[in-house]
Chains A and B, each alone.
Chain A
Amino acid sequence: GENVEQHPSTLSVQEGDSAVIKCTYSDSASNYFPWYKQELGKGPQLIIDIRSNVGEKKDQRIAVTLNKTAKHFSLHITETQPEDSAVYFCAAQRYQGGKLIFGQGTELSVKP
């Protein structure tokens, strides 16, 4: 069935360090992989995404990598800042514009 596993569930880093969150998806037909940041009391905010025809994408301090063969994708945040503290969700989409299957979330805490 359709499933996305996300690890770790909690992650604590010192300000300035890097943070990595990993996801594994089960549906090999998935071709779009967005990442969302959710702050307390707010809806998820799209921060970066990647499509299956690309192996890596970077936007300033944030990067995402995709390994289609292994069905893994990861979020990398460099030079973390306290304002990066939030819950991060990965998701996978099977067909264009269809439903998103979300991971369980990673609570990132960046300590000053």
Chain B
Amino acid sequence: DAGVTQSPTHLIKTRGQHVTLRCSPISGHKSVSWYQQVLGQGPQFIFQYYEKEERGRGNFPDRFSARQFPNYSSELNVNALLLGDSALYLCASSLLAGVPLNTEAFFGQGTRLTVV
């Protein structure tokens, strides 16, 4: 079975530009979460989507937005890029089903975004 896949793996953008990152969850998983990982730190929560609805939002500016599609894949969009947005962007998928609820989160390899 394929794990969580993210594209692209690396990206270089200029300040002020817009970027779209993509994520395909593990087959059967209905929840996708996005995290930002700055070098040397732990991942920081950005968004969670479940069944195409936003389930949670972290402390990030409105320049960050996301959505989940009917096939449960997801996009993270960042507008007006700043140098400080340079980071590894991680997508995690979870099943969120079963009794007890299966909440394990599995991460993709990430997209390394560099803003210059």
| Number of chain A residues close to chain B: CB under 8 A | 25
The answer to whether B56 and A103 have CB atoms under 8 Å apart is no
Which residue from chain B places its CB closest to the CB of A101 in the assembled complex? B45
Q: Tell me the bound Cα distance from A98 to B55 in angstroms.
A: 8
Surface stretch bound by A, among B13-21, B75-83, B102-110: B102-110
Which residues of the partner chain A approach B35 to less than 8 Å between Cβ atoms? Answer: 100
Q: Is A96 an interface residue (CB 8 A)?
A: yes
Secondary structure of the A contact surface, majority rule: strand
How big is chain B's contact interface, by range? 20 to 34
The answer to whether A49 and B58 have CB atoms under 8 Å apart is no
The answer to whether B103 and A43 have CB atoms under 8 Å apart is no
Q: State how many angstroms separate the Cβ of B31 from the closest Cβ of chain A.
A: 6
Q: State how many angstroms separate the Cβ of A22 from the closest Cβ of chain B.
A: 15
Q: Is B68 an interface residue (CB 8 A)?
A: no
Chain A 35-67 near chain B by CB (<8 Å), digits 1 or 0: 010000111111001000000000000000000
Q: State how many angstroms separate the Cβ of B88 from the closest Cβ of chain A.
A: 8
A103-B110 contact, Cβ under 8 Å, with A32-B103, A34-B104, A96-B103? no
Q: Tell me the bound Cα distance from A41 to B111 in angstroms.
A: 10
Q: Tell me the bound Cα distance from A4 to B104 in angstroms.
A: 18
Tell me the A residues contacting B by CB distance below 8 Å.
Answer: 4, 6, 32, 34, 36, 41-46, 49, 89, 91, 93, 96-105
In the complex, besides A43-B4, A99-B48, 18 extra interface pairs with C-beta distance below 8 angstroms are A43-B110, A46-B104, A46-B107, A89-B42, A96-B96, A96-B103, A97-B50, A97-B94, A97-B103, A98-B48, A98-B56, A99-B33, A100-B35, A100-B43, A101-B45, A102-B42, A102-B43, A105-B41
Please name the 3 residue pairs, one residue from A and one from B, whose CB atoms are nearest each other, closest first: A102-B42, A43-B107, A99-B45
